[in-house]
């Protein structure tokens, strides 16, 4: 028997709240399948399982906060052993249709429940009429104004007679959670007792702590703790350079002129790819500081700092950007930012970035001196693209430029190493056709 546990979704995470199960008891799952949604202090994350088998038991109820490493479910290895007991239905709102009536995955059904969209009214654009997440999102945008709420909150509101439109949500993007409904109904913030396993009396698990009724500025508190740790433990040094982008942007504009709008590049994609390639060339900055030594990473997982619309910051990772075609980098970057701001990141995208990039150019900032995310050993800051006078072949010209900065951990590297990184970044951007 294997245990599906509360994952660690970042260096600053020590507990998480199980929001929803996306599978039923008795379901067959494969490694990489998304089976649960977990809320952290910063965001809501879709969590994948790391082994294949059958879900035989749920150990934690949705809405419960537990420490990292706490068992959430039991997954039996794939084989002929049948799952004990009848399958437990997913907690979906009353208006949801039976699984067999609409071709949609559990993840799509969960999104529809959160958005308050009836799948019966959604036109599926996938193969065979299958409903995709984009179809649900479009239905939510085009329909009347809806209250964002978890399926558990919707069911609880119905049973308590609470109008969700009058409830102030404290979840991600202002989503209404079960505690918000209980508070509105005047029933307090306590959670219902856990359903007992087979042959076990119902009751709370000792390892679980109940979710507080509200978490004021929880995301800021998590960031504060992590950044305080970074400044206490990491001896930062800082370097910067001004990169001439004339060649890169001219090449990008020529390329974009032959493509439809949806496939065109933006400068951020070129910069991300160049940073990833420079990290591959200078591996002393790509990895983690663990147990008083630098541990180089096997590949480049580029953390991308994303500011959330409701406030706060997340830095999910893009894997293998150094090896991606630029078109794929552009698509992956757009998708990651969109899902980060919708609170729909996956656990694999939040675990162990090896180097983080923060780009505040769109905010008008010319240079960024970032604070390193431990246990990483470096952060790259990118400012806005701005015209500056430059010397070209002994003549004065005005070219688009960007200021690139490096914040690095002096325990893991020295200034000479950081200088090699910035020099590599500059060189790569002078030959964009090779990126």
CA quadruple 46, 50, 56, 60: dihedral, nearest 10: -50
Rounded CA separation 75/54 (Å): 5
Do 40 and 146 lie in a common domain?
Answer: yes
pLDDT at residue 191 tops 50: no
Do 215 and 280 lie in a common domain?
Answer: no
Do 195 and 236 lie in a common domain?
Answer: no
Provide the angle, in degrees to the nearest 10, between the axes of the packed helices 151-160 and 178-185.
20
Q: At which of 186, 220, 254 does a domain end?
A: 220
pLDDT for the residue numbered 216? 40
Do 178 and 234 lie in a common domain?
Answer: no
Do 415 and 313 lie in a common domain?
Answer: yes
pLDDT at residue 215 tops 80: no
pLDDT for the residue numbered 106? 52
Do 260 and 404 lie in a common domain?
Answer: yes
Average pLDDT of the chain, as a whole number: 79
Question: Does any domain span residue 146?
Answer: yes
Radius of gyration from C-alpha coordinates of the chain: 24
CATH number at residue 402: 3.30.559.10
Do 169 and 228 lie in a common domain?
Answer: no
Q: How confident is the model at residue 251 (pLDDT cuts 50, 70, 90)?
A: very high
Q: How many domains does the chain have?
A: 2
Rounded CA separation 138/277 (Å): 36
Residue 262 or 222, more confident: 262
Supply φ then ψ for residue 121, to 5 degrees: -100, 5
pLDDT at residue 167 tops 90: no
Do 216 and 286 lie in a common domain?
Answer: no
Residue 45 or 113, more confident: 45
Range of the domain at 379: 222-434
Do 293 and 192 lie in a common domain?
Answer: no
CATH number at residue 117: 2.40.50.100
Question: Does any domain span residue 205?
Answer: no
**207-230 average pLDDT score:** 62
Rounded CA separation 264/430 (Å): 20
Do 165 and 296 lie in a common domain?
Answer: no
**Residue 199 host element (H or E):** none
Cβ atoms of residues 267 and 245 within 8 Å:
yes
pLDDT at residue 396 tops 80: yes
Question: Does any domain span residue 206?
Answer: no
Cβ atoms of residues 254 and 416 within 8 Å:
no
Do 69 and 112 lie in a common domain?
Answer: yes
The pTM assigned to this predicted structure is 0.60
CA atoms within 13 A on the CB side of 381: 21
What confidence tens digit (pLDDT) does each residue in 72-98 have?
A: 999 988 755 444 555 444 444 333 334
Question: Does any domain span residue 162?
Answer: yes
- Spatial neighbors of 353 by CB under 8 A, at least 6 apart, are 301, 302, 303, 315, 316, 317, 373, 376
Do 184 and 231 lie in a common domain?
Answer: no
Residue 218 or 279, more confident: 279
Question: Does any domain span residue 67?
Answer: yes
């Amino acid at each position: 028997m294997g245990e599906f546990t509360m994952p660690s979704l970042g260096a600053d995470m020590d507990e998480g709240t199980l929001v929803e199960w996306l599978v039923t008891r008795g379901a067959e799952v494969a490694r990489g399948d998304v089976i649960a949604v977990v809320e952290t202090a910063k965001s809501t994350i879709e969590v994948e399982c790391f082994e294949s088998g059958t879900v035989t038991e749920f150990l934690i109820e949705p809405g419960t906060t537990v420490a990292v490493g706490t068992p959430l479910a039991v997954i039996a290895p794939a084989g002929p052993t049948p799952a004990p007991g009848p399958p437990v239905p997913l907690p979906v709102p009353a208006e949801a249709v039976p699984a067999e009536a609409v071709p949609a995955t559990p993840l799509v059904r969960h999104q529809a429940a959160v958005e308050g969209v009836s799948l019966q009214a959604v036109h599926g654009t996938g193969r065979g009429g299958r409903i995709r997440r984009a179809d649900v999102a479009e239905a939510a945008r085009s329909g009347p104004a809806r209250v964002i709420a978890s399926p558990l909150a919707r069911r609880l509101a119905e049973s308590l007679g609470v109008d969700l439109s009058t409830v102030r949500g404290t979840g991600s993007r202002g989503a209404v959670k079960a505690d918000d409904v209980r508070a509105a109904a005047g029933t307090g913030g306590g959670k219902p007792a856990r359903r007992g396993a087979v042959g076990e009396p119902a009751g709370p698990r000792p390892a679980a702590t109940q979710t507080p009724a509200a978490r004021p500025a929880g995301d800021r508190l998590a960031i504060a703790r992590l950044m305080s740790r970074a400044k206490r433990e990491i001896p930062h040094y800082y370097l910067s350079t001004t990169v001439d982008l004339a060649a890169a942007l001219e090449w990008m504009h020529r390329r974009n002129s032959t493509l439809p709008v949806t496939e065109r590049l933006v400068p951020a994609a070129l910069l991300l790819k160049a940073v990833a390639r420079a990290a591959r060339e200078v591996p002393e900055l790509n990895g983690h500081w663990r147990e008083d030594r630098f541990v180089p990473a096997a590949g480049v997982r580029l953390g991308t700092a994303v500011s959330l619309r409701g406030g706060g910051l997340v830095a999910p990772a893009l894997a293998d950007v150094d090896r991606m075609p630029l078109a794929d980098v552009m698509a992956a970057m757009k998708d990651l930012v969109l899902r980060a701001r919708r609170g729909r990141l996956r656990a694999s995208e939040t675990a162990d970035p090896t180097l983080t990039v923060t780009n505040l150019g769109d905010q008008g900032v010319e240079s960024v001196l970032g604070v390193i995310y431990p246990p990483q050993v470096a952060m790259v800051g990118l400012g806005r693209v701005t015209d500056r006078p430059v010397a070209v072949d002994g003549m004065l010209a005005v070219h688009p430029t960007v200021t690139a900065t490096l914040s690095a951990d002096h325990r893991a590297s020295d200034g000479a190493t950081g200088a090699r990184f910035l020099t590599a970044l500059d060189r790569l951007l002078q030959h964009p056709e090779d990126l």
